[in-house]
A = this chain, B = another copy of it.
Amino acid sequence: MQTRFILINTSHAGNVGAAARAMKTMGFTDLVLVAPRWANVLRREETIQRASGALDVLKNARIVDTLDEALEGITHLCATAMTPRDFGPPTATPREHFELLLNKERLTHIPRGLEADLAYKNEILPETSELVQAAVAAPERGMGFLFGCERFGMRNEDVYRCHVALSIPSDPQFGSLNLGAAVQVIAYEWRLALGAFPVQSATLEPVLADAAQVAGMLGHLEQSLQAIGFLDPQAPKKLMPRLNQLFNRAGVTQEEVHILRGIAKAMLQNVARPEALTPATALVKG
């Protein structure tokens, strides 16, 4: 779905850069500034610095004089506003509003036969939800997020034009997010609602040891703990079951089983060479 971020009367250049970066991290690039404080805000040093590489967003950003000029193609307008008003659109959290909106879009715009089919597929095969997303992302619909100026937020007349007032659920005692941070949260929630970017595992997927491998390792360990005099076979208490529980909770991997067996082996070898024993352990052994 076409998505536009509209900043109205922004006064800090750094926030424009931060907004551009926040948008781009979530894959959004359409930025419009309505009557910013600085006419050259897109080229100011602080803007470029805080954009930290999101220069294409700045380059393609438009500056306009009035909100009207920012709304072409946008069919759903979200205010971001905390101030209570006597009148205005309903208030919702981003997460609940996006969920409702996309459900409604899906139910409204997918042909009836396909809809049941998709619901079925989503239940059975969650990965086919791309079809739903494609249906939702019909080109005629556009989402606009409006952000007011840093000190005074949004003007009533701008809020009145919106379909909803999004409220990020922050501490009522200290509720005002930085403008760039608010853009980040909204962009993040909207991206997750539309379908998140996949997260790549930073490491190789570990292979878990099966219960037989864990049991084999525990047997090896038991032998070595007896050899070093820590485990008394006459009074084993619950030492081995306790270790078993610890490794179960951890979900021990095959690689870790090798490491632990290596430790057990080294303990046994060490004990086998009496010269390696300290007098104290020799005493215990004796």
Contact = CB atoms under 8 A, between A and B. Distances in A.
A265 interface: no
Interface string A177-188: 110110011001
Interface stretch (A133-141, A200-208, A227-235): A200-208
A142 interface: no
Contacts of A206: 90
Contacts of A279: none
Contacts of A219: none
A174 interface: yes
A53 B174 contact: yes
A197 interface: yes
B184 A25 contact: no
Given A177-B184, A178-B22, A181-B184, A27 B171 contact: yes
Greatest chain B CB density within 10 A among A52, A165, A169, A200 is at A169
Interface residues of A, number: 54
A22 B175 CA distance: 10
Given A95-B192, A181-B18, A188-B185, A167 B54 contact: no
A76 to B, nearest CB: 14
Interface stretch (A2-10, A78-86, A237-245): A78-86
Given A84-B203, A185-B188, A178 B90 contact: no
Given A88-B203, A203-B85, A54 B18 contact: no
A171 B198 CA distance: 9
Nearest to A189: B188
A21 interface: yes
A213 interface: no
Given A83-B202, A198-B169, A178 B27 contact: no
Contact of A174 (B54, B169, B171, B181): B54
A121 interface: no
Interface in A143-182: 165, 167-172, 174-178, 180-181
19 contacts: A22-B178, A25-B171, A25-B174, A25-B176, A25-B177, A52-B178, A54-B174, A84-B202, A87-B203, A88-B202, A91-B199, A91-B200, A91-B203, A93-B196, A169-B198, A171-B197, A172-B198, A181-B184, A185-B185
Interface of A: 18, 21-22, 24-27, 50, 52-54, 81-93, 95, 165, 167-172, 174-178, 180-181, 184-185, 188, 191-192, 196-204, 206
